[in-house]
Structure 1
Amino acid sequence: MGLGEYPPEFNPRIHGPYHPGRYYGKADLPLGQVKLGEMGSWLSRRSYTPQSMVSCTMRAYWRWATKYMLSKRTSIAPLIQFAGTMGLAYYFLQYRTHTNHRHAKYH
């Protein structure tokens, strides 16, 4: 699967129109239903190649965008999520300077 191509599991006769936020591979147990003893086998069934990581990230982005950005009547939720993400990123980038201002007793 190269850039701009459909995934090999996609069949338009079965799946209908292509949706970039849907996984067309073989269905597996969701993480919430995996028992602790089956966690190793569940993790071994995952693909950890860079291409699969990028496709997983893009599917998550398209699911988010379909829900919040591409709806007919969008709300202020994506702006609040963006501002919260930027606030957290700024906090962690500036964490070293925040540690200098901790309250401590000097006696």
Structure 2
Amino acid sequence: MSADPLQPKFKINLNKYPSPYNPYHPEYNARIHGPYDPSRYYGKEPKMSMWDLKLGDIPKKLLTSDKSPQNIFGVISRFMHRYNVRHHRAARFPLNWVFQIALLGYAINYIATWGVPSGLGGRKCEQRYRYHW
């Protein structure tokens, strides 16, 4: 049999990336988890969800949680993927993310100008009429 000229001479496994450039979580397995979802955590399941914590257990949870830069980046990345799927890439494009950003800007402006004199850009509480009894 002759070699097919259209086939490469060396077989390259494109599913395996060198470690620092691997876009998948190390514990992701396509046979078990199915299609890759960047908003899902593929590591070991946390012992307790943040929603199930009691107020007294929060400091203990914060002290025992992983605070490495890779983990913090992963948490932020998963949140942003979930937010984008829900608000930006929905089938019917919702505008609630526009209102959320506007509301956040209004809230920051309200807090920033609280207690600032009116001459410096704060709120004016002026008396328009003076009544003499």
Q: CA RMSD in A?
A: 2.6
Deviation at 1:100, TM superposition (A): 2.3
2:116 to 88, 93, 99: 99
**TM-fit CA distance, 1:96:** 6.1
Cα gap change, 1:41 to 1:98, in 2 (>3 Å): closer
How far apart are the structure 2 equivalents of 1:40 and 1:79? 34
TM-score by length of 2: 0.61
Larger RCO of the pair (alpha carbons < 8 Å, separation 6+): 1
Question: More displaced, 78-87 or 47-56?
Answer: 78-87
Q: Does 1:20 align with 2:48?
A: no
As a proportion of its length, which structure holds more helix? 1
Deviation at 1:60, TM superposition (A): 0.5
SS at match of 2:20: coil
Secondary structure of 1:99's aligned partner: coil
Q: Distance in 1 between matches of 2:107 and 2:113?
A: 14
Superposition pairs of residues 52-67 of structure 1, within 5 angstroms: 52-67=71-86
Q: Which runs of 5+ in 1 are unaligned?
A: none
Q: Which structure 2 residue ranges, 5 or more long, are not aligned? A: 1-18, 126-133
Range 42-51 or range 22-31, more displaced: 42-51
Distance 2:112 2:59 in 1: 34
**Is 1:2 aligned to residue 29 of structure 2?**
no
Report the alpha carbon displacement of residue 67 of structure 1 after superposing the two structures with TM. 0.7
Cα distance in 1 between the residues matched to 2:103 and 2:55: 33
Alignment partner of 1:45 is 2:64: yes
After the TM superposition, list the runs of 4 or more consecutive aligned residues in structure 1 that deviate by more than 4 angstroms. none
TM-score (norm 1): 0.74
